[in-house]
Amino acid sequence: MSRSWAVVTGASSGLGVAYAERVASMGTNVVLSARRADLLESVAADLRERFNVDTRTVTADLGDQDQRQTLIAELQELDVAYLINNAGFGTMGEFAEADPDRMADELNLNVVALTDLTRAAVPGMIARRRGAVINVASSAAFQPVPNMAVYAASKAYVLRFTTALWDELRPTGVRALAICPGPTDTSFFTNAGNDEVMSNRRTPSQVVDTTFKALRQHRPYIVDGGGNVAMAFATRFAPAGLQTKLAKLVATN
Ligand SMILES: NC(=O)c1ccc[n+]([C@@H]2O[C@H](COP(=O)([O-])OP(=O)(O)OC[C@H]3O[C@@H](n4cnc5c(N)ncnc54)[C@H](OP(=O)(O)O)[C@@H]3O)[C@@H](O)[C@H]2O)c1
């Protein structure tokens, strides 16, 4: 059995399950982390049965600094081939009416936990001269998104942070990649407050395919899906007023 591990956060549903399945199919052992222990256990049992890999589960609210410590210890102890920082959530609605506690949880998970977990994993990867950090950003990272202002800004952080890290790690043999999915068919929109929007969605397995193709090409970031690539490229040259108008149009269709 392989000695190397993948650590996948948000592995209880959606993209996280698809990432866990993909790395297990490559023969890599998997640490699965999220808050819902029952779902993690059932994903872990499925991976062991189908792919004959070893699994561990870490049940934690990763936005909470104390609860993150068990996962940080795993990252420092194991031979981690992949850290997949996938756990994250968004919130739809006007900023002036946002729940301050939820807003802080969103930033703690999407930004602080992702950075902290990456910091725990990278020294071991550098010492072994191999490994990859895959950070799940979003196509929302490329422009401000009214009514999802905090979420889009948190993903802009993930994109910038990961691209800088990609450059720092280049001489070491360790890779960093920000994957920027557009609307994808998971529980994300239900949890964000409205599942009726952005009905033209990609599948989690398409996003995972795009991720590993980009990783093989040593790219710093990749946008998943042709339409999302075009949108991310076009908004780059638009003035702020047009960027927000386009983002609102996409977010309501
Ligand atoms: N779906 C999309 O359209 C889309 C587009 C762009 C980017 N993304 C990004 O893709 C990533 C995965 O989301 P998804 O689409 O797969 O949505 P999802 O099905 O809602 O999955 C979110 C995952 O994050 C975990 N999570 C949420 N809060 C957590 C916390 N405080 N501590 C630990 N784990 C937590 C959830 O597990 P528990 O509830 O069990 O904790 C779940 O496993 C997110 O970073 C999201 O921002 C999604």
Decide: helix, strand or coil at residue 107.
helix
Atom of ligand 1 nearest to the CA of 136: 45
Give the mean pLDDT of the chain.
96
Residue 114: partners with Cβ closer than 8 Å, 6 or more residues away: 85, 88, 135, 158, 161
Tell me the pLDDT tens digit for each residue of 158-172. Answer: 999 999 999 999 999
36 touches ligand 1 (CB under 6 Å): yes
Predicted confidence at residue 97, as pLDDT, reads 97
130 touches ligand 1 (CB under 6 Å): no
191 touches ligand 1 (CB under 6 Å): yes
Q: Is 19 a catalytic residue?
A: no
DSSP structure string for 206-223:
HHHHHHHHHHHTT-SEEE
Predicted confidence at residue 167, as pLDDT, reads 98
Predicted confidence at residue 59, as pLDDT, reads 98
Query: Is the Cα dihedral 102, 99, 107, 238 positive or negative?
Result: positive
Provide the H-helix boundaries in the chain. 14-25, 37-51, 69-77, 100-107, 114-128, 149-169, 188-192, 204-216, 226-236, 240-251
Atom of ligand 1 nearest to the CA of 87: 24
Structural domains for the chain = 5-251 (3.40.50.720)
Tell me the pLDDT tens digit for each residue of 209-222. Answer: 999 999 999 999 99
Tell me the pLDDT tens digit for each residue of 71-129. Answer: 999 999 999 999 999 999 999 999 999 999 999 999 999 999 999 999 999 999 999 99
| Cα-to-centroid distance, 127 and ligand 1 (Å) | 30
Predicted confidence at residue 199, as pLDDT, reads 79
Tell me the pLDDT tens digit for each residue of 191-238. Answer: 999 888 787 899 999 999 999 999 999 999 999 999 999 999 989 889
Tell me the pLDDT tens digit for each residue of 132-154. Answer: 999 999 999 999 999 999 999 99
The one-letter amino acid code at 124 reads: G
Active-site residue (options: 19, 82, 151, 221)? 151
248 has pLDDT over 90: no
252 has pLDDT over 80: no
Atom of ligand 1 nearest to the CA of 185: 1
**19 confidence band (pLDDT: 50, 70, 90):** very high
